[in-house]
Amino acid sequence: MKRTVHYIITGCIAALTLVGCGNAPSLQSYFVDHQESASFISQDIPISMLNIDTSEFTEDQKEAYNSVSRLNFLGYKSDSTNVDAYTNEVNKVKAILSDEKYMDLIEFSDRGNRIVMKYIGDDDEADEVVIFGSSKEYGFGIARVLGNDMNPQKMVTLAGLMQGADIDEEQVKSVMNFFK
């Protein structure tokens, strides 16, 4: 009887260990784990709240814009007192984004700022688009772009348009002030 109980307990511990090892961190769990931390800012932004003028957009650009329903944003502020913590958090995000489920869209650096754009899905439709930008001077931000029928290539075009878009700064004021 003792031997049977011993085998059952040992088997349960082994099963729990194996199940626990398969739980790689996800971007969603990273957001949840850090959204209440003082070093982070988290904001869920419906795309309609940005009040972007789409009158100059082409049909493809309008289609891409209309396929986005909201942005989940998580930002981390860096300064000279938290360089190690910043590096640690950036490495965590990079490890999550290195998962093979994230497909590369575009990656570039500009004056010390690094931008990576990835997506989950296939060549025709993205379930989620992720934009990760980092700067040792300011910190980093991750935007999860969520919507329906998002085309990865059109999302790259849309991201380029957003840089020059006239966005209602009042809607993202708390994010901008966080990084000052």
Per-residue pLDDT tens over the stretch 46-86: 877 777 778 888 888 888 888 888 889 999 998 888 889 99
Out of 14-18, 29-33, 47-51, 169-173, give the one with best mean pLDDT.
29-33
Between CA 14 and CA 114 the distance in angstroms is 42
- Is residue 110 domain-resident? yes
Is there a contact between 131 and 145 (Cβ–Cβ < 8 Å)?
Answer: yes
For residue 173, the enclosing domain spans 26-178
Where residue 101 falls among pLDDT bands split at 50, 70, 90? very high
Confidence band of 157 (pLDDT split at 50, 70, 90): confident
Total tally of structural domains belonging to the chain: 1
Enter the pTM of the model.
0.76
Range 18-47 average pLDDT: 80
pLDDT value at residue 165: 59
Q: In terms of Cα–Cα distance, which of 147, 150, 131, 126 is closest to 61?
A: 150
Does some domain include residue 100? yes
pLDDT at position 62: 85
Neighbours of 133 (CB within 10 A): 17
Cα–Cα distance list, 108 to 15, 73, 100, 131 (Å): 43, 20, 20, 12
The pLDDT of residue 86 is: 93
At residue 166, the 3 state secondary structure works out as coil
Q: What is the pLDDT of residue 163?
A: 62
Strand order through the sheet with 68-77: 40-46, 68-77, 139-150, 126-135, 113-121, 103-110
Q: How do beta strands 68-77 and 40-46 pair?
A: antiparallel
Q: Calculate the average pLDDT of the chain.
A: 79
Classify residue 48: in a domain, yes or no: yes
Confidence check: pLDDT of 140 > 90:
yes
